[in-house]
Amino acid sequence: MSSITITNKNFQSEVLESPVPVLLDFWAPWCGPCRMLGPVIDQIADEYKDRVKVGKVNVDEEGTLAEQHGITSIPTLFLYKGGELAGQRNGAAMKHDIVALFANLI
C-alpha cells in the first residue's frame, strides 16, 4: 500500500507543497462504505504512485482537517494540485470514476 496518513501536522508539506496531485480520502474505520472503498484507494495508490500521491485522513483522529474541509459525510475524496483544491467527490465510487478526478492532471 502506497497511501500515506495525512494529519494536521503534515498536511502543509504532504498536500499543499506536493509536486504531484494529491488524492485525499476522508474516512473512518467504522464507516462501511469507507471500508469498501479502501482497497480501491490502495490500488490507485499503487498503480499511480509516481504520478499521484494518495493520502488518507481518519476523520475521527483528524477532526480539525475534516472540519476545515467541510466534511459532513464520508467517504469523501478531495483532489489537490499545486496546493489548490482541484476536485471533490462524495460517497463511494468506482475506480474509473476516481481516476477520472485526476486523469487530466497527470
Expressed as residue numbers, the domain containing 90 is 4-105
Distance CA 69, CA 16 (A): 13
Strands 53-58 and 76-81: unpaired
Q: What is the pLDDT of residues 27-61, one digit of tens each?
A: 999 999 999 999 999 999 999 998 999 999 999 99
pLDDT confidence tier of residue 106, bands split at 50, 70 and 90: confident
> Which cell is 97 given?
470514476
Choose the catalytic residue: 15, 23, 34, 92.
34
- Residue 33 in contact with residue 89, Cβ under 8 Å? no
- Using DSSP's 3-state secondary structure scheme, residue 68 falls into helix
pTM: 0.94
In the predicted structure, residue 2 carries a pLDDT above the cut 90: no
Active site residue 27: no
Choose the catalytic residue: 31, 41, 74, 98.
31
Distance CA 18, CA 94 (A): 25
Distance CA 105, CA 28 (A): 27
Q: How many domains does the chain have?
A: 1
The CATH number that applies at residue 40 is 3.40.30.10
Active site residue 34: yes
Q: What is the pLDDT of residues 69-100, one digit of tens each?
A: 999 999 999 999 999 999 999 999 999 999 99
